[in-house]
Amino acid sequence: MGIIVQKYGGTSVDGPERIKNVAARVCRSVDEGHQVVVVVSAQGDTTDSLLEMAQAISTRPPKRELDMLLATGEQISIALLAMAIDTLGYKAISLTGAQGGIMTDEQHTKAKIRKVNAERITAELERGSIVIVAGFQGVTPGNDITTLGRGGSDTTAVAVAAALDAEICEIYTDVTGVYSADPRIVPEARLLPQVGYDEMLELASLGALILQPRAVEVAAIYGVPLHVRSSFTESPGTIVREVEDMEKARSVTGVAYDDNCAQITIIGVPEPVNILRLVFAALAREGINVDMIVKTSGGESTTTLSFTVQRSDLDAALEIIHHLNGADQWEITANEDVAKVSIVGAGMMTNPGVAAAMFDVLADEGVPVELVTTSEIKVSCLVPRNRLREAVTACHSRFCLSDAE
């Protein structure tokens, strides 16, 4: 048997009892004959507490120093987990991101992993140790500590798995796997035993934040199979891997939603103005991400632009737009009461008519659609937020997602 990488999130290591539980699970994998590398996040709300400490000192702390501070969260987790494994009589060694060879670029607070120098990890595995690597953090070529941004521990785990050519990367979380829809909305939603990387990527970026999209991207590039499962039960979860038999795939795998969006509409922009470039360059400079974008021509040679942003970015986005050159001539409206519902499925590419079926079912339910965007494996519709539940349930039912394959 080969190497497996296991990643445990903040909830899984929150408190001594949960840490002991994780230790027991890790040791079982060793008993099964695996060499195990464990990647852990900071405990529970440690990161938030550290951020509060920083805020008490400075409203704008330097990012390098923020990384220095935040990196202590995972360092505490890895040390405690190593101690817990030691009490079970197994050999364990904890490594910070720097010690584990997680080399990143220099973008503090949102660094990207450049490569993993796995010599130390490999050497410790060969000495018979369980190796525990701090997630979410790395080190620059200049030996400065960086963090990868929230959820970066997933990316650490996948990158380490890729570097070690691991059999599988297990992502332990507080949900049992990836479902065909949010079970809180659609009780008959089905646990998906397997999804493709692309599908996972769309599901991940659509609010089903079980896995960091960056982690899925890295997994796809290096072909690392992922197993998303619960750290509180023994049952298998969802395997994310390259879907080989594309023809057989059902056209829609799941329904996702995002109720954290807001819509901005700009009407009456004179045709010569390159409104797309003007607006999105300004928003990008301030780090505001834009999601669905629709541009149409209105009457009398004017343009209408409508797009969505995260609801928490709405005020900042409006402020920026109102200050753009010529904005006093436009009609600018905002709508916070919207939500996005999406159907995702790798089979969509080869099944025409899926988008039409979605519009059909929404029309049958009387749910108005404000905006539509599509990709090869996804169709997203912006709907009124108070109709979201009906929309998700109707789509889930229409595409028979509770039936087993």
Ramachandran angles phi, psi of 371, nearest 5°: -140, 155
With the C-alpha atoms ordered 214, 218, 223, 224, is the resulting torsion angle positive or negative?
negative
Token pair of 343 as six digits:
């159907």
Q: Which two structure tokens, joined as six digits, stand for 77?
A: 């987790």
Nearer Cβ to a copy of itself (144/167): 144
Nearer to a copy of itself, 26 or 338 (CB): 26
* Residue among 345, 366, 368, 354 at smallest CA distance from 398: 354
Give the Cα separation of 135 and 40 in Å (integer). Answer: 5
Beta bridge partners of 240: 195, 226
Exposure on the CB side of residue 196, measured as CA atoms within 13 A: 20
Q: Which lies closer to a copy of itself via its Cβ, residue 1 or residue 57?
A: 57
Q: How many Cα atoms are found within 13 Å in the side-chain-facing hemisphere of 24?
A: 11
| Contacting residues for 19 by C-beta, under 8 A, at least 6 apart | 13, 77, 80, 81, 84
**Closest approach of Cβ 90 to a copy of itself, in Å?**
12
Closer by beta carbon to a copy of itself, 20 or else 250: 20
Q: Which C-beta is closer to a copy of itself: that of 79 or that of 369?
A: 79
Burial of 375 (0-12, 13-18, 19+ CB in 10 A): middle
CB of 53 to a copy of itself, least distance (A): 6
Give the nearest distance from C-beta 22 to a copy of itself in angstroms: 11
Minimum Å gap between C-beta 127 and a copy of itself is: 12
Residue 8 vs 307, nearer CB to a copy of itself: 8
Q: What is the nearest approach in angstroms of a copy of itself to the Cβ of residue 79?
A: 4
Residue written as tokens 């798995």?
161
**Considering the complex, what minimum distance in angstroms separates the CB of residue 184 from a copy of itself?**
33
Q: How would DSSP label each residue in 13-78?
A: GSSHHHHHHHHHHHHHHHHTT-EEEEEE---TTHHHHHHHHHHHH-SS--HHHHHHHHHHHHHHHH
The CB-of-77 to a copy of itself minimum distance in angstroms stands at: 10
Return residues touching a copy of itself (CB under 8 A). Answer: 16, 19-20, 50, 53-54, 56-58, 60-62, 64-66, 68-69, 71-72, 75-76, 78-80, 82-84, 86-87, 93-94, 96, 98-99, 120, 143-145
Q: How far is the CB of 26 from a copy of itself (least distance, A)?
A: 14
> Where does 144-183 show beta strands of DSSP type E?
145-147, 168-173
Give the residue with the Cβ less far from a copy of itself, 43 or 263: 43
The residue (of 160 and 192) whose beta carbon lies closer to a copy of itself is 160
**CA gap 103, 273 in Å, rounded:** 44
